[in-house]
Structure 1
């Protein structure tokens, strides 16, 4: 296929599902795809963006929009998100996840599977949620985590979120796995922290995988290496395979 045809195909718009690796930022993924595309297509620049940020300590579905498909980003990220959250009970961290060390421990002997199931029911529907201090939420023009990492207290505002579905997938006295379907802007780290409090204990997010955004699912996603390899072999594809 002629390079010009391939170039026009990508610039006209592509929505790509990527299984974001752990420790990568969402921007890292976008930047790597853009870098390889500009070289494969032999152009100086092409629009590449993502719909819905994932923290470095989370993996799973990241939707990357290329060319004119970047106009779809807002609509895509407005869709409900689905996650599989691994939560450790009996302790808290300042960041509500593994970014920071455990700061306090709590009893868990009273926590049963039935208690967890009943407590999860109380989260369904509309909730007011406080963002974590270690978040990208802007305070005076700066991300809140910049203040938190310097031990500077700032005031964050709670916001409305909506939990469509919450299902307990796995239970041990100190470890849970929960499937969550929720509105955009929901912090699963805050959910884990709040769950610990409602269980009269403590909790933090041990791991997080995003499994769906609206109609798009993780099972249909490329690994990042697979997609970079596809980009580097673009001239071997037919139009329908791009």
Structure 2
């Protein structure tokens, strides 16, 4: 009798708005009825787009997928900011951005392109002293975080209709797009936050290849029956 091969699979999923990355993993795990399921790179709940989910033996490849180049599109809003630099927290006005020219904005963008040092946002899943920093942030505590080297190989403004600007960014693992919003707002002295984010690519894998999570779950259940 031939021995059954250990299960292995990689799923490309379009993470829905307001779902956590773990919500997606949990759905796939429950459908597969196996414990070894994980994702290769967190997307914030208010972000959408490509999430790679590995199951069974393929969970050993998670680090490889996580290390690959990422591409994002989205929208920054100039003139205001939030504590989380996205729409998770209340929007606070900073300064009127309508005097800014496209050249001024592109100049600030150029300073945030290439090899840069970036401080992660307080509302992030990074661990400091064994605790997630967002847990401290939600309790009103400030955690000291050191700047981290990241590479933003492409930072393109695709639409400028102030106070909104649309962007396309290609970057390395560990780059926080919310931090780029914060830093851009500081350079322009008007504040900024991210109102929309979609991950369009991880390495060679593209969002167009991704499946709807609920449709995928139904397909998995039928295959596993």
Q: What is the TM-score of this pair, normalised by structure 2?
A: 0.94
- Tell me how far apart the structure 1 counterparts of residues 35 and 94 of structure 2 sit (CA, whole Å): 49
- Tell me how far apart the structure 2 counterparts of residues 47 and 144 of structure 1 sit (CA, whole Å): 26
Pick from 62, 65, 69: which aligns with 1:73? 62
Instruction: Give the match for residue 23 of structure 2.
Output: 28
The DSSP-based 3-state class of the residue aligned with 1:14 is strand
- 1:141-160 to structure 2, matched below 5 A, reads 141-160=130-149
Higher radius of gyration, 1 or 2: 1
Give the superposition deviation at 1:117.
2.0
- Tell me how far apart the structure 2 counterparts of residues 113 and 72 of structure 1 sit (CA, whole Å): 42
Q: Deviations over 1:95-118 (max 9, x none)?
A: 111111023421212212222222
Pick from 16, 21, 25: which aligns with 2:11? 16
- 1:96-175 to structure 2, matched below 5 A, reads 96-175=85-164
Moved more, 101-110 or 193-202: 101-110
- 1:185-196 to structure 2, matched below 5 A, reads 185-196=174-185
- Tell me how far apart the structure 2 counterparts of residues 204 and 33 of structure 1 sit (CA, whole Å): 32
| Count of matched residue pairs | 223
Q: Deviations over 1:104-156 (max 9, x none)?
A: 42121221222222221222211000111111121221111111112112211
1:213 and 2:202 aligned: yes
- Tell me how far apart the structure 1 counterparts of residues 224 and 7 of structure 2 sit (CA, whole Å): 17
Is the 8 Å Cα contact of residues 156 and 169 (structure 2) preserved in structure 1? yes
Q: What is the TM-score of this pair, normalised by structure 1?
A: 0.88
Is the 8 Å Cα contact of residues 98 and 163 (structure 2) preserved in structure 1? no
Q: Deviations over 1:10-54 (max 9, x none)?
A: x4421110000011111111111110111xxxxxx3411110011
- 1:81-100 to structure 2, matched below 5 A, reads 81-100=70-89
- Tell me how far apart the structure 2 counterparts of residues 58 and 26 of structure 1 sit (CA, whole Å): 10
Is the 8 Å Cα contact of residues 76 and 193 (structure 2) preserved in structure 1? yes
Runs of 4+ in structure 1 over 2 Å off: none
Is the 8 Å Cα contact of residues 85 and 188 (structure 1) preserved in structure 2? no
